[in-house]
Every structure is written in C-alpha cells, then in structure tokens.
Structure 1
C-alpha cells in the first residue's frame, strides 16, 4: 500500500513558487518564506493568483506530485498534470463506460450508496451519543434516508437522471437535520440549508472549503492509478470540471468533510470572528482561520481507519487512493462491483 506523504498548502495569495534543485521554494515579494524537498510531498495546493515557475511545475510532474490552483477562498481554478500515466486500455474502458448510461448508472449508484450510508452513520452516531437531543423531525429524516438507501439498493430508480434526482432529495433530508449536530451555542453557526457559490453562512463556508480539499485529493488519487479525473459517471463530462473526482468524493463528503466541519465547530477550533462577510453576502474564512483549518486537516489525514473491503488499517489521507485503486480494478474487470468506502 502506498505511503502517506504531505500536501503543501500555500495560503498566502501573494506567494510565488519556484524550483531550486529538488526543492520547491515559496517566496513573497522576492523573499523566501519556505523551502520543501519534493520527495516529501504528494501534492501542492496553492490558494492564490501569483502562480508558479515552469521549472517548479516540471519538478512536480517529474515526481508525480499533483498541483492544484484555487482562489484564496477555495474555488477550483486549475490543475497541473504531467504525462498521462497508467494503462491506456484502462482509460479507454473508462471512456466507454462513461458513454454507456446504463453502465454509468451502476457505478453512480455505488457512489451514491456510499455517500448516503455514511450520511446515515453521521446521524446515527449523534442519536447514540446525544439521545436526549434527538427531535421527532430528526427521526423522520433518518427514517426517510434509510428507506431511500433500500430503494437505491433495490434498483428502483429507472434512469441515471432519476437516480441523481432521488439522491438530491435524500441529501436534503440529511441536511435538514444537520443543524441538530452543531453543539455550538453561537447563533452565527446556525445552519438552515446548503448554499454554495458563494456560501452564505459560516457552516457552508467550512463545508465548501473542506469539499475543495477532498476533491483535490481525489483528483490526485485518480491520476495516480491511471484514470482520467475529468470523465465521470455520476457527474457528466463538462469542460473544466473534474467529474470523476467529484464522483469519487461523494462517499467522502459525510465522513471526511461533514464530520471534520462538525469537529471544528463543536470543539471551538474555529469561532464566529474567523470569517469575513462580503458585500454580496458571501461568507469566507479569514487568512489566519484558513491556516488553522488546514493544520487540523493535515492532522486528520494522519489518523487511521479500518477499510472494510480491504480489511486493512490505513491513514485517512490514503482513502481516496484506495478507492481510486478499487475503481480501476472494477473497470478492468478484476472485481464484480465497485465497493464504496463505508465507515463502520
């Protein structure tokens, strides 16, 4: 199994990345701030607009280190990749399956099942730990979510679009109960519904930011096993969108994203004044808070979890790679179905 290495998160929007030998140099206004050997990294995520030198980008591609550019507040802008790796026959198979709606629906159902089962586990753990705080509405949403999982398993959704629509309905049931999971008494952390582009409250700002981090890790994992992150099954092909990375991250949203956000809020790692509210209503993390969240994210990725299908303990940060590997095995025909990661 692959070993977990670090991801370099460059949070200063004025940073410029260059190469010196086998190291990445981070500078601001021609002053060196950091120097990181490439051998210690598996990815670079740059929150800013200053960019990087061609030599530095070549260093990343030569060492299979994924590089992603996002806006200072987490919106995906671009990804740098090197020579296409992996078996060309695997990618040909991926493209053929993506063009086949029925075959795509099969994989999409696995991705959605993984996501919804992990959503249910998040709610289930809350009801177990805080039984006195479980409302009747919470119980109803949990029941609807459980019934929906059974329906998807039974294959009652006719088309791929119907499956997507049904998943959207079940996700709303889950998020209708999300505010119950927030133990903070600060009114600023009240959550009503999911909003994005831009996030309109503090909880949504954290959710969007964490999902951006997960998507970047999923894209790197897919490339490392020879799959094309742009060509998906649940999310259809759209220029500039990493559709397969979005497919893969669905099962990680509740476990890696939502639980991480809840821990940040409930453990008071972030506070109400760690956010800036823009004139258009967008709510964004401040620079210092973004660094705090990234430090907590790196720590979280080093924690270990048992992978049910592989029956192996691994760092949380390797889960996207493990699932990308299993997806590649399924497309090759080595296993009968794609087993999504479901937390126990």
Structure 2
C-alpha cells in the first residue's frame, strides 16, 4: 500500500535502483544516516526543508506517479511537482470549464461545497456540546447564516456567508480546547499556537485534496467556490472546505486536549508562532492515523478510509459535471 512520506530536514534525494535514497542534513550542514524508501510504496513526498535533486530524479518520480509538495519554514505551501496528468480527458475539461463559465451551474456546485462544510462544522460543535462545552450560541448563529446560503445570487455573497460561518465557528474553539487559547483567527502570520496548527493542518488537507484530484479526470485549476487564480490549484481549496472540519479540526482538538502537543513543540517569536519539528511530527502522526481510519460507507456498503472519502468526493463531482448524478457533498453521519 502506497503512503505519504514527510521530509522535515533539508537533504539530498537520489535514486538507488528502484529505491529512493534520502540523505538528511542537520543544522550544521553535516550529513546524517541515509533513509531508503522503496519507490513502489511511495504515494507522495512532503518537503519542509530544501531538497537537492536533479532532473533525472524528477523524471524518475514522474514515471512512478509520485508527487512532491513543498513548504517553507513558516509552513506556507509554496508549490508542487506533479507528474504528467495521465487521466485528463477532453470531454471533462470542456464540461468543467462550461460549469465554471455558467453563473447558474457554478452557483449550484459552490453552494453544495458551503452546505457540506457548514454541516460538518455543526457536527463538530454538537459533538462537543454533548460533552459539556458551552457552544450552543455559536451553533445558533451558524444556523442563521446557513439559512442564507440557498438565497445567494452570486459567488461573492456566498463566500461572505461562508466566511461568517467559519469566523463564528472559530470563536467556539476557545470553549473546546482546554490548554491553549485561539483568541480569533490570524493567518499571515499565525499569532499563537492554535492558529499555527490551523494554518499547518489546512495546508496538509489542501495537498491531500490536490493528490486525490490528480487521480481523477478533474482539472485542479478550474474551481467553483474559490476563484481560479494563477499558480494555484483552486479546486483543491473547494474540496478542502468540506474536509477541514473532519480531518484538520478534529486532529487539532485531539492533539491539544490530550496533550500530545505542548508549549515546547512551538517556536514562539515576535508576532509569529510556528511548529517545531517535534510538533509537526506529532500532528502529522495523528492526522495520518485519522486518514487511515475506516468507516462503513452507507452507499457502498463497505469500509473505506477517510483518505478514500476524498477521492470519492472527486468522483461524485465528476459525475455531476458530466450530467450523470447531481452532486451532494459528503456529510458526516456519526
């Protein structure tokens, strides 16, 4: 089974037969013990330090359908190496573009993204409301915003409603999290530990969605809720809205409330907080455990992982675009 690998140190990546050889480099520039990764077991690489690799290496990665995602020191996503799109189809490209260009068709899909995200957000809040967290006022406010979704006539207004829902939801984090305070959302840069985790987790979720889109016929640059822009895969942003509450936020609540991450795992600077390597590793371990969990799928009548749920979402969107089935977003039912 293929899996993701996370490279926290800078280092050199080379090929040794059908194995990837990674030589980490420490802060003093000294080489550490090499790590070997059998290529058939690698799905993608997440690089949080500088990576030294030549064009032959990237050709090898491309032929084996291995993506490489890059992040800077401050945990910002900076870009990806994606193998040649091996599943892109002309009909899908045309239909996806037409759905974006039609204001009516675009609204239909965009509203479903916001509805799915809002439902999963409320599920999180109800879960903690039933565990003696006083979040009812936040739930009530979100339900009022939710009523406005179907009435919207343009994407800008819809994005405004989504922003209000998300802002209200983040206000409840201080009721849910025991040992840290969020005190409002701050992004660039994150001002405290909770905001640093949100930014880091959202970027990991975004790249997860990008990977799953890559394995379908969808074009990741043509989106419906977020505006397509230069140098970004905006469809991954759309899909991530649905899964951030389930994958990222649940992970944050777990690692903080169970003290899997503590103050020592954060690098606190003036006007900026980032995760140390220990913090990134602890978060990613819990996040990966979450991705590999399985649930009994209602429609498929079999167990599927959370990671596979993201790919299934891509398939549902594809069927909507091709006129086979109307798209309904994933909503957590447990």
TM-score band by shorter chain is over 0.9
- Which of 199, 205, 208 is matched with 2:196 structurally? 205
| TM-aligned CA deviation for residue 215 of structure 1 | 0.7
Give CA-to-partner distance per residue, 1:49-90, whole Å, 9 cap, x none: 234332232222212222211113421111112222222211
Partner of 2:328: 339
In structure 2, distance between residues paired with 1:246 and 1:6:
22
8 Å contact 2:100–2:106 — kept in the other structure? yes
Change (3 A) 1:73 1:308: farther
Partner of 1:325: 315
Partner of 1:62: 63
Partner of 1:244: 235
Partner of 1:295: 285
In structure 2, distance between residues paired with 1:278 and 1:285:
11
Partner of 2:295: 305
In structure 2, distance between residues paired with 1:115 and 1:311:
24
Choose 229-238 or 63-72, whichever is displaced more: 63-72
Partner of 2:248: 257
Consecutive unaligned residues of structure 2, counting only runs of 5 or more, are: 26-30
8 Å contact 1:47–1:73 — kept in the other structure? no
SS at match of 2:147: helix
Q: Does 1:315 align with 2:305?
A: yes
| TM-aligned CA deviation for residue 144 of structure 1 | 1.9
SS at match of 1:42: strand
Choose 327-336 or 250-259, whichever is displaced more: 327-336
8 Å contact 1:308–1:342 — kept in the other structure? no
In structure 1, distance between residues paired with 2:111 and 2:221:
19
Partner of 2:130: 128
8 Å contact 2:313–2:330 — kept in the other structure? yes
In structure 2, distance between residues paired with 1:308 and 1:205:
35
Consecutive unaligned residues of structure 1, counting only runs of 5 or more, are: none
In structure 2, distance between residues paired with 1:73 and 1:307:
37
Q: Where in structure 2 are the equivalents of 1:57-206 lying within 5 Å?
A: 57-86=58-87, 87-130=89-132, 133-134=133-134, 138-152=135-149, 155-184=150-179, 189-206=180-197
Partner of 1:21: 17
CA-based RMSD of the aligned residues comes to: 1.7
Aligned length: 327
By relative contact order (CA 8 Å, sep 6+), the higher-ranking structure is: 1
In structure 2, distance between residues paired with 1:90 and 1:51:
36
Q: Does 1:41 align with 2:42?
A: yes
Partner of 1:266: 257
Change (3 A) 1:254 1:309: farther
In structure 2, distance between residues paired with 1:306 and 1:255:
16
Q: TM-score, normalised by structure 1?
A: 0.90
Change (3 A) 1:34 1:192: same
